[in-house]
Amino acid sequence: MRRRQFLILSAASIGGVLVYSLDRKASRVFAQEKSAQTLKIPLRFFTKDEAMIVAAAAARIFPSDDSGPGAKEAGVVIFIDRQLAGPWGRDRYRYAEGPFDENGAREFGYQGKATPRETYREGLKGLKDFDSLTSEQQDKKLQQIENTHLFALLRQNTIEGMFSDPVHGGNADMVGWQLVGFPGPRMSNYDEVDKHFGEAFRPKPVTLEQVLHRKVRPSEDEDTASA
Amino acid sequence: MKTLPSTDVVIIGGGWTGLLMAKELSARSAVSIVVLERGRSRIPEYSSGMDELDYFVRMHMMQDPSREAVTLRHHDKENSLPIRQYGAFLPGSGVGGTGEHWGAVYPRLMPDCFELQSKTVERYGAAKLPEDHTMQDWPVTYDEIEPFYARSEREVGVCGKAGNLNGKKIEGGNIFEGWRSSEYPMPPTITPYFSELFRGGAKSLGYHPYNNATAVTSEEYTNPDGVSRPACAFCGFCERTPCMINAKAQPTNVLLPVVRQRKSVTLRTNATVKRIVHDSAARTGKARGVTYIDESGEEIFQPADLVVLASYTLGNTHMLLLSGIGTPYNPATGKGALGKNLTHQVSFGVQAFLPKPLNKFMGAGGTGVRISDFDADVFDHTHLPFIRGGMIGAMSVGTQPLSTFGTTPSSMKLPRWGSAWKKASIEYFDRTGVIAFSGEQIPHKGNYFDLDPRYKNPMGDPLLRMTMNWQDNERKMAEFMNAKMVEIGHAMGAKEVNPFPGYGDYDVVRYQSTHIQGGTMMAKSPDLGVVNSYQQHWEIPNLFVIGASTFPNSGSSNPTPTILALTYRTADAILDRYLKKPAPLA
Ligand SMILES: Cc1cc2nc3c(=O)[nH]c(=O)nc-3n(C[C@H](O)[C@H](O)[C@H](O)COP(=O)(O)OP(=O)(O)OC[C@H]3O[C@@H](n4cnc5c(N)ncnc54)[C@H](O)[C@@H]3O)c2cc1C
């Protein structure tokens, strides 16, 4: 097994939100403590350098800007790291027998041999030092790879990390849900469904664990074997 | 191979059809029944079902393609490729089958769907039939199965409003539907805002909107078997997930509570059937039982006097092909019926961008408003370049962010990532509604199932192959419907409507529906089909094949009501006739 690597985040980079670290402990970083505090998050799949690149790319796909927080605050990179370490990352549930026709038409879906883990690991080699570029340079670089399978995964996983239940490591403090007014898993809307016609009804979001009052084991924990 | 003691009946598959057959046979006979289900029971996990990532995106409930995949090619000259991740359709595995994560929309087929070919010729002449079609009438009519539809609605627990009670048209219901002998057992569900907007828009254009029939509860309901379910709470986690409170009808909350009480029924999970063992002979062949792989990987022979194949359209066709039962269809000669008349409903949507927030997270499976003004042969096709049609509707099933975030009006010409895209996606997130179409696919000479020559499953068996593409009739139908749907969108007040771009080649990525029909179709004679109208195999009278694999053509309606109605009819025929005299029923 490779030596465990950590993602070191300064509190300033995640503006005052709850982050679920990879060992399942929740850490809250307060705005006022900002620069003083850093978070050391153990990585399950990525190396530290890979994690920095992915975090930077996700932050361009879903930026933090005047329309609200983005991939950085939601902890999208933590989400992606866990997904790759779990069964999805190694194609546990994909038909992965050959022959592979990498040039199969779009209508057949992704036909490549590479698992998501392999696609990230290989693809990120082409984005060396991405995290130290300016935003403009980063956007240019992403435009160049826009049609690759890696980018398709990055975009899909970034959206997933923004809006999945926080149990999966992203959407920290439900920032993604708050951004779009999604309340999460509410057991009942019986008294509301025929009301609020034409007006935004925005109940306070809740997570699955808050609703169920118990721990939930997400699919990525089904198989935590190291990469 | 280990051989088990013989059973009277073995049922392959523990989904809607398999468990219904077990319930019916055990209610009125003493036969011993073994149900073999390849998956496990997941009921204890259902309370975690409100997780969009694991259930909607990673597809926790669905069949695992690494264990059983299907391949596709668009025509005979193309190489097939495996569908490596299910997308266009999402079959299930485990106790309850696909019926656990289904959407619960519960409409009957239009009566003329059963007489597709003769009714079309009667009205328009044979010249109107699409080129290379393989339409043929069903050996059973709507009138014959009406009582079974009604029975299924009471047992499954369906809500809705009749539009045609014994021939009397009723405003507010679907006035174009076939006659019904009785009202729905429950009134329609509440109509959420988006669907209500659709009703208004459709009405303003002179159409006849109605509340869709659905198998979720609009009030607390107890069925004739004494099984109770609470009223739906509109949590919005419905299709693709199991229901947490049993408001959505599922095999495990409607049938299993009864089946579990029956001492004559044994349900074996983690039992993957490999073959039906049989002696062949035209019309007097005999099934001896089945072989299956148990949890430990051991192959086991389960002898049985009667075999019921209930493993969904894909499994049913695959099993007969693998077991060498019947004559595989040959598209070049037209001979053979096994694998023929594969259809997949025509499903697409247009996105309407509405001025006000829709609160779309609230909803329930099957809840919504539809019109049937362009269904079946309700409208005149004389001057149209296609036959048949379908339903247009606005469902409020509950919308989650992973599946819908990122939809923006196409006039904005936005990139698919970055600040501008993010901002617009947030703005339109709860202002976008999908107006959806569900229509008939006409069976075609070139659309069929057979065994794939290259790709295999882990047991070493060839995968099922679909040769499938959209044909002219579907493409032209979609073009016509798209225009109607965009018009309705505007009538609902949409600022903009993203139209359907039209059909390219059959696509396995975009979800269409899990409404796949054909492969073991029923017919009035052995040369025309695989089973008779009682879903009894023409060559092997002690083999019954149940499910949508026996449909000669797709309807525009969701298939399960018809699947279940036919299952009741088959169960009655087995109980009242076959068990007394095991012989061909037709
Ligand atoms: C997302 C979704 C939404 C849907 N919405 C609707 C809807 O709104 N309305 C509607 O009418 N229909 C809907 N459907 C379709 C509906 O679920 C099916 O029509 C119905 O479940 C078919 O019942 P069945 O018994 O034929 O198959 P299933 O319910 O799939 O049961 C078949 C069972 O057989 C088992 N099996 C297969 N092969 C083997 C084998 N070799 N050995 C042992 N066991 C085996 C499977 O594991 C499965 O449990 C939907 C489906 C999906 C996926």
Tell me, using a 6 A CB cutoff, whether residue B250 lines ligand 1. Answer: no
- The per-residue pLDDT for A11 is 56
**Cα three-residue angle B330-B90-A147, rounded to 5 degrees:** 95
- The per-residue pLDDT for A23 is 44
Asked whether the predicted pLDDT for residue A200 surpasses 80, the reply is: yes
Query: Are B174 and B340 in contact, with CB atoms under 8 Å apart?
Result: no
Q: Is B240 on the interface with A (CB under 8 A)?
A: no
Terminal-residue alpha carbon distance, chain B: 36
Among B271, B282, B281, B287, which residue's Cα sits nearest to residue B320? B287
B560, B562, B564, best to mutate for ligand 1 pocket (most atoms within 8 Å of CB): B560
Query: Are B316 and B91 in contact, with CB atoms under 8 Å apart?
Result: no
Query: What residue ranges of chain B have pLDDT lower than 70?
Result: none
Tell me, using a 6 A CB cutoff, whether residue B108 lines ligand 1. Answer: no
- The per-residue pLDDT for B47 is 87
pTM value is 0.96
Position A223 confidence tier, pLDDT thresholds 50, 70, 90: low
Backbone angles phi, psi at B359, to 5 degrees: 50, 50
Asked whether the predicted pLDDT for residue A142 surpasses 70, the reply is: yes
- The per-residue pLDDT for A8 is 76
C-alpha B146/C-alpha B150 separation (Å) is 6
Out of A160, A192, A196, name the one closest to residue B57 (CB).
A160
Any idea how long chain A is? 227
- Interface test with chain B among A80, A84, A93, A150, by most B beta carbons within 10 Å: A93
Tell me, using a 6 A CB cutoff, whether residue B512 lines ligand 1. Answer: no
**Cα three-residue angle B66-B72-B77, rounded to 5 degrees:** 140
Q: Which two tokens stand for residue B342?
A: 């594969």
CA of A201 to the centre of ligand 1 (A): 35
Chain B residues closer than 8 Å to A218 by CB:
51, 53-54
- The per-residue pLDDT for A13 is 55
Of the ranges A2-16, A114-128, B468-482, which one carries the lowest mean pLDDT score?
A2-16
Tokens 């609160």 -> residue: B359
Chain A residues closer than 8 Å to B193 by CB:
196-198
**Cα three-residue angle A184-A187-A193, rounded to 5 degrees:** 85
Q: Is B465 helix (H, G, I), strand (E, B) or coil?
A: strand
Backbone angles phi, psi at B221, to 5 degrees: -140, 135
CB contact (8 A) between residue B356 and residue A198: yes
CA of B63 to the centre of ligand 1 (A): 10
**Cα three-residue angle B265-B267-B268, rounded to 5 degrees:** 140
Q: Which two tokens stand for residue B316?
A: 């049913």
B75 as an active site residue: the answer is: no
Tell me, using a 6 A CB cutoff, whether residue B37 lines ligand 1. Answer: yes
Complete domains list, chain B, with CATH: 2-159+168-578 (3.50.50.60)
CA of A225 to the centre of ligand 1 (A): 33
- The per-residue pLDDT for A226 is 41
What is the CB-side half-sphere exposure of residue A115 using CA atoms within 13 A? 18
Q: Which of residues 31-60 of B touch A (CB under 8 A)?
A: 47-48, 50-54, 57-60
Q: At what angle do helices A135-144 and A48-61 cross, to 10 degrees?
A: 90
Query: Is the Cα dihedral B516, B520, B526, B527 positive or negative?
Result: positive
CB contact (8 A) between residue B426 and residue A101: no
Q: Is B325 exposed, middle or buried (0-12, 13-18, 19+ CB in 10 A)?
A: buried
CB contact (8 A) between residue B509 and residue A70: no
C-alpha B103/C-alpha A21 separation (Å) is 36
Residue tagged active-site, from B133, B444, B515, B537: B515
For residue A68, the Cα-to-chain-centroid distance in whole angstroms is 17
What's the per-residue H, E or C state across B225-238? CCCEECCCCCECCC
Nearest atom, ligand 1, residue B17 CA: 25
- Note the ipTM here: 0.95
Asked whether the predicted pLDDT for residue A14 surpasses 70, the reply is: no
Q: Which two tokens stand for residue A204?
A: 């306070």
- The per-residue pLDDT for A27 is 53
DSSP letter at B348? E
C-alpha B367/C-alpha B160 separation (Å) is 10
Q: How far is CA B52 from CA A207, B149, B237, B267, B351, in A?
A: 12, 33, 8, 30, 21
Q: Is A16 on the interface with B (CB under 8 A)?
A: no
- The per-residue pLDDT for A19 is 52
Residue nearest to atom 31 of ligand 1 (CA): B15
- The per-residue pLDDT for B70 is 98
Query: Are A195 and A212 in contact, with CB atoms under 8 Å apart?
Result: no
- The per-residue pLDDT for A30 is 47
Residue nearest to atom 35 of ligand 1 (CA): B13
Share of chain B residues as helix, strand and coil, in percent rounded to the nearest 5: 25, 20, 50
Chain B residues closer than 8 Å to A180 by CB:
401, 405, 426, 429-430
C-alpha A107/C-alpha B420 separation (Å) is 29
What residues have CB less than 8 Å from B128, skipping those under 6 apart?
B120, B121, B381, B387
Tell me, using a 6 A CB cutoff, whether residue B368 lines ligand 1. Answer: no
Tell me, using a 6 A CB cutoff, whether residue B103 lines ligand 1. Answer: yes
Asked whether the predicted pLDDT for residue A114 surpasses 60, the reply is: yes
Say how many C-beta atoms besides its own lie within 10 A of residue A36's C-beta: 11
Tell me, using a 6 A CB cutoff, whether residue B42 lines ligand 1. Answer: no
- The per-residue pLDDT for A44 is 93
